[in-house]
Amino acid sequence: MKIYRIPLVITALIVAALACQASFSTANIANAYTTADPNGGSPTTVFASDQVFYAIVELKNAPDDTTVKAVWTAVNVEGVEPNTYLTETVLTSGDGTLTFELSNDNLWPAGQYKVDLYLNDKLDRSLTFEVR
């Protein structure tokens, strides 16, 4: 009888070890878009050179310690090296709407930009937009 217990004990230890290493979150970005409206209205992918960029992120099924990071990049912009990092912001939240913004004291140069959105340190999506 004792011989049959050894495989059960080994199996239980393996399952316990795997459970300790695995982490699972149901958090997801249900919707994300860029806009010039700080209240999240009127999604757009085209901005004027004097506008503030906003990225709106709708977070669902998220525990209160969920992190979302927005990394802003000038992809192909006049007078700027391609794929120039601009800045990043990290917010921690549960369910709800998060607002990221990027402003400039001067006019934005014309060209293509993007904001990469990371959910708990994993790239979830990239939003591309342009300044005309």
CATH number at residue 121: 2.60.40.10
Q: Does residue 76 sit within a domain?
A: yes
96 found inside a domain: yes
pLDDT number for residue 25: 75
Residue 20 lies in a domain: no
pLDDT for the residue 20:
44
Expressed as residue numbers, the domain containing 49 is 26-131
CA distance 55 to 69: 11
DSSP assignment letter at 67: E
* Beta-carbon contacts of residue 28 (< 8 Å; ≥ 6 apart): 59, 60, 61, 62, 119
- Predicted model pTM: 0.81
11 in a structural domain: no
The answer to whether residue 21 sits within a structural domain is: no
pLDDT tens across the length of the chain (132 residues): 555 566 555 555 454 544 444 456 799 999 999 999 999 999 999 999 999 999 999 999 999 999 999 999 999 999 999 999 999 999 999 999 999 999 999 999 999 999 999 999 999 999 999 999
Residue showing tokens 């009888």 = 1
Counted domains in the chain: 1
Length in residues, the chain: 132
- SS3 (DSSP) at 36: coil
